[in-house]
Structure 1
């Protein structure tokens, strides 16, 4: 049960963070120029997500108990998937701003819904090992964090040079790209310098 539920919820979290953060990638790929956005307009498109995300968190939590949690989570997943897809068709600042607002609205229920949903699964462990339900919330979530951290020890790399899943050619390319990508003539990038200097702060 844990393997099935937690793997799906982890995938949902991944998609949620990708969807809320991909506007940065879109900016790199020409969003600002394509929609003729000023700096403040772009900043508002980032910020408005958190207005609706914060405002509708509690109402979403209240609605969670009306339909079943699995139905509510599916409904908000479809809603944010549709909003995200439609965001790819926007033609101007106001429609992008509106889409980001509704993305925040749709995603507002995910975190709270998942927390409630996992707590309901954990509640069946009441009395196991002479521990009450609330004990198991901490124990199981703590164990999950430790297990992921152990996996991360073998899968996270400090530098491209140490990434043994890349070929020598791929490592050289990543190092080159970090050094020169986005560099304007005559300007130095932080990634280009190996030593720390206070001016980078």
Structure 2
């Protein structure tokens, strides 16, 4: 008797590594990216501090590879007061000048200022229930079910709505594509390939359940 998995069409897209685990191509070679994929990417983030960091780093990643940002993450954390929203919100022009001289981070004036702006918006958003509840309020009812990386979209109706809503509260560098990447990274949607060993591990979405929400 065959199992449902045996009867299903063969899946493709993920690469099986020496450890026997299947991952997408982007996470199958570089040990740093592989560890990030295995331990962080797609894991639900539900604290203000951690979510503010993710939004900040996604903004810095715009136009660059995620590997660059991940390698510089320790430097970003040091430069931006460990992404404490209250401390970053208090940064002034002297801090901007300091950051633009810091080789440990991506020295982009617009993105540096955006991080400070978004810290202030994060603090202000507490009056509306806080950043975490606000962002997670845009979680869609279904999640993608990609067989290959080409099946993974780069934006969605939910990411468009989230981007617009954040902009209304003063956030910048939060376009639909950036917010879709955020939603992937924090487990709001599950874009792990169907044959990846990480598919369905967030506890938010089930594995191969037709996109049904579990919580």
Larger RCO (alpha carbons 8 Å, 6+ apart): 2
Please indicate, yes or no, whether the TM-score normalized by the shorter chain is above 0.5: no
TM-score by length of 2: 0.30
TM-score by length of 1: 0.31
